[in-house]
Amino acid sequence: MMNNVKTAALLAGMAGLVMAIGSFWGQSGLIMAFGFSVVMIGGSYWFSDRLAIASARAKPVGPDELPEFHRVMAELTAAANLPMPGLFVSPDPQPNAFATGRNPHHAAVCVTQGLLQALTWDEIRGVLAHELSHVRNRDILTSSVAAAIASTITFAARMAMWGAIFGGGGSGGRDRNGGGLEQLALIVLGPIAAAVIQMAISRNREFAADASAARLLGTGEPLAQALDKLDLYSHRIPSNVNPAQSQAYIVNPLRGGGMQKLFSTHPPVDERISRLRNGTWV
């Protein structure tokens, strides 16, 4: 519940940034920003599954090809009272997994070939419970909205920048001396703030999916063991995942340090494991 409240607050903050930047262009700027946002949200929402599956070069697998995969998912969906998602396998050698789809009736869960080779089926059950929790919590919609709003903020900031350069300003009645610094700050810092908020939303939803998975299984240990292995392999086995799709995976397939940690789409694995083993999810 608290994770949902935090997510709503973060989305509201992003919406506020859109309004603030769009206001430099007056009502027309707000309308353009809103229209751009609607198009972005709609596109990412309706086509997220196709884009993610295609990007991972994943193929659908039937019960004859991977019977255990289908059996475990059938048990989990029955326990969660959810429809069976499409099941896919990516040739990626790095152990990982993701869920996609606009709602529980149009969902897909994809695991990598590396995951099937590196984890036990008890650990895979934990991973699948996590991904199914993303579907049940409609996190694909949340992440699509967050990404679209972040894109809108960047678009609006660029509009304001070019307006200022060419003298149109779009200042909406602000005097040049009083509003110049404020406008410059929003143009420069708005997209950065949007990216930070978007990453915070993603990290928040990962914690929520971990907790939901543990509740579904009645224990956090299988997922904790899986995360421990996945984190280790992610440092050892490189992945060619599209950076735009990396936030969908259960652990970050692309590693980086320094300032990149600020923009990380995933919370620290050690903290996730600690929460699962300390019963924070109860």
Amino acid, res. 198: Q
The pair phi, psi for residue 175, each rounded to 5°, is: -75, 150
The pair phi, psi for residue 158, each rounded to 5°, is: -70, -35
pLDDT number for residue 135: 93
Round to whole Å and give the CA distance between 143 and 36. 17
For 229-252, b/e burial (b = at least 16 CB within 10 A) is: bbbebbeebebebeeebbbbbbbb
Beta bridge partners of 101: 107
Exposed, middle or buried by CB within 10 Å (0-12, 13-18, 19+), for 223? buried
For residues 206-224, give the mean pLDDT.
96
Binding region: 130, 134, 206
Round to whole Å and give the CA distance between 234 and 94. 6
Each residue's pLDDT tens digit, 148-184: 667 667 766 666 666 666 655 444 444 444 456 666 6
For the chain, the domains span 1-282
For residues 22-40, give the mean pLDDT.
63
What the block records as the tokens of 214 is 């543990």
Binding region for Zn(2+): 130, 134, 206
Active site residues: 131
The per-residue pLDDT of the chain, averaged, comes to: 81
Q: Rounded to two decimals, what is the model's pTM? A: 0.77
